[in-house]
Amino acid sequence: MSTLGNSMNIFWQESPIGKLERQKLLNQKGCVVWITGLSGSGKSTLACSLSRELYERGKLSYILDGDNLRHGLNKDLGFKAEDRTENIRRVGEVAKLFADAGLICIASLISPYRKDRDACRAMLPDSNFIEASLFLNERDPKGLYKLARAGKIKGFTGIDDPYDPPLNCEIEINQKDGVCPMPSAMAGEVVTYLEDKGYLQD
Amino acid sequence: MSTLGNSMNIFWQESPIGKLERQKLLNQKGCVVWITGLSGSGKSTLACSLSRELYERGKLSYILDGDNLRHGLNKDLGFKAEDRTENIRRVGEVAKLFADAGLICIASLISPYRKDRDACRAMLPDSNFIEASLFLNERDPKGLYKLARAGKIKGFTGIDDPYDPPLNCEIEINQKDGVCPMPSAMAGEVVTYLEDKGYLQD
């Protein structure tokens, strides 16, 4: 029984209700805001704050959190390079579905390798992949860097596993005068981008 | 580098905007309508018709089509029993995310094994997994049964691969007087169920 032999019975099904109709219902445009950054850089903080700011404007978003998905969809994956790649591929595929459903999908995961992020970008047509990069000084709210530096966590991104910073991301969030911006200010930068690009109307 | 050793840095992130807020925005309740049935039984026809009927009521649904997902999320999987199980597990996990996002998620896939469907049901709390089974006489719109019977497709569900019919599904769609119901009538049965159970309001 081969995959190839069966591939003849896998057809693409067109739905009569498409992305345009769903966007009209929601009065917004589906897209993916992909938040990348080191552990502790504030990805979840930004994701939650962005979700709230959008909700207050009546917009529907959904957060795909890399850590949460490892409890469900990606629970069969570990942290070897190929598992990290597969982890991100699956999140990219699911994010694409959410964008197609008309939602503003907020993907929040370290996604350390540029080639993996770029593969997700390539899945999304029409500039609907918006990479938001957090360049905030390393915080350590969970005490993980300390453990990693002591060798108690192996394969920790930024310590003994590489992180490729984005080269041309749509949104960069940096410290201002050595201070981390407030969550609502970080979210505001993304909302302004989405507004300017027309994502907050159909 | 072990998964176990790293699991200490995988935390669950709570979002301030939850399912209840999204349901309020959409004026509906998130759930999964899981359509199961043999190849050619009309799953996609029902899915598309249901999507249209819901749209006309201003409700947001999204179709997860088993065949379509094999071009994306599940493109690494074949048709061996364990691949079919993993295929359905992933669709179940994604359907759960869509329901959590507040959508009426319409999953349309053969899903031949009862244990796999029941595993998806177990993922969804509070009766939000609605199994709709198509018991329509075998149609062969794509000519696949003919090929399978001639041995030209191997591992074809219902011919040389088993199909476990549901035992206690929420919705059964049967022939009436030997005639297949119209797509809108099939969809109507599901819409009535959703209306009666309160899914079409928040």
CB contact under 8 A, A25 and B55: yes
CB contact under 8 A, A39 and B9: yes
The span from the CA of B43 to the CA of B27, in Å, is: 26
A93 CA to chain B: closest CA distance, Å? 5
Where do the domains of chain A lie?
A: 17-196
CB contact under 8 A, A80 and B1: yes
- Closest-CA residue of B relative to A142 is B9
Identity of the residue in A61, A142, A154 whose CB atom sits nearest the CB atom of B1: A154
Mark whether A111 is an active-site residue.
Answer: yes
Helix runs in chain B, H state only: 3-6, 19-26, 43-56, 66-69, 81-100, 114-123, 144-149, 183-196
Q: Is A35 on the interface with B (CB under 8 A)?
A: no
pLDDT (tens digit, 9 = 90+) per residue, B122-180?
Answer: 999 778 999 999 987 667 778 888 888 888 888 888 888 889 999 989 999 988 887 88
Sheet architecture: strand order including B31-36: B61-65, B104-108, B31-36, B129-135, B171-174
A22 CA to chain B: closest CA distance, Å? 7
**Average pLDDT for chain B:** 89
pLDDT (tens digit, 9 = 90+) per residue, A117-143?
Answer: 999 999 997 789 999 999 876 677 788
CB contact under 8 A, A6 and B153: yes
When mean pLDDT is compared across A17-21, B5-9, B188-192, the lowest value belongs to: B5-9
The span from the CA of A99 to the CA of A59, in Å, is: 13
The span from the CA of A11 to the CA of B66, in Å, is: 10
Answer CATH for A17-196 from 3.40.50.300, 3.40.50.720, 3.30.1550.10, 3.40.50.1820? 3.40.50.300
* Selected residue with higher pLDDT from B108 and B152: B108
CB contact under 8 A, B68 and A155: no
A21 CA to chain B: closest CA distance, Å? 8
Would you state the structure tokens that stand for residue A78, as one six-digit string? 């570990």
